[in-house]
Amino acid sequence: MTAKNEKAKAKVEQAKGKAKEAAARAVGNESKTAEGRAEKAKGDLRQAKEKTKDAFRK
């Protein structure tokens, strides 16, 4: 995958995770809240990886 695809995928994961976490918190579903946090964290890690790659490309 290209760097742009990976960055976009990271943003999508972050957004989905944040939305899932907020929706689950609103209805009091703790397990879904945790799933949302995990998905957001996965997106955060993917984004950090891409930023690190960009730093070494320069």
Q: What is the DSSP string of 2-48?
A: -HHHHHHHHHHHHHHHHHHHHHHHHHT-HHHHHHHHHHHHHHHHHHH
What pLDDT, on a 0 to 100 scale, did the predictor assign at position 20? 96
What pLDDT, on a 0 to 100 scale, did the predictor assign at position 2? 80
Distance CA 15, CA 56 (A): 27
Distance CA 36, CA 38 (A): 5
pLDDT tens track, the chain, 58 positions: 687 898 999 999 999 999 999 999 999 999 999 999 999 999 999 999 999 998 888 7
The pTM assigned to this predicted structure is 0.81
What pLDDT, on a 0 to 100 scale, did the predictor assign at position 24? 96
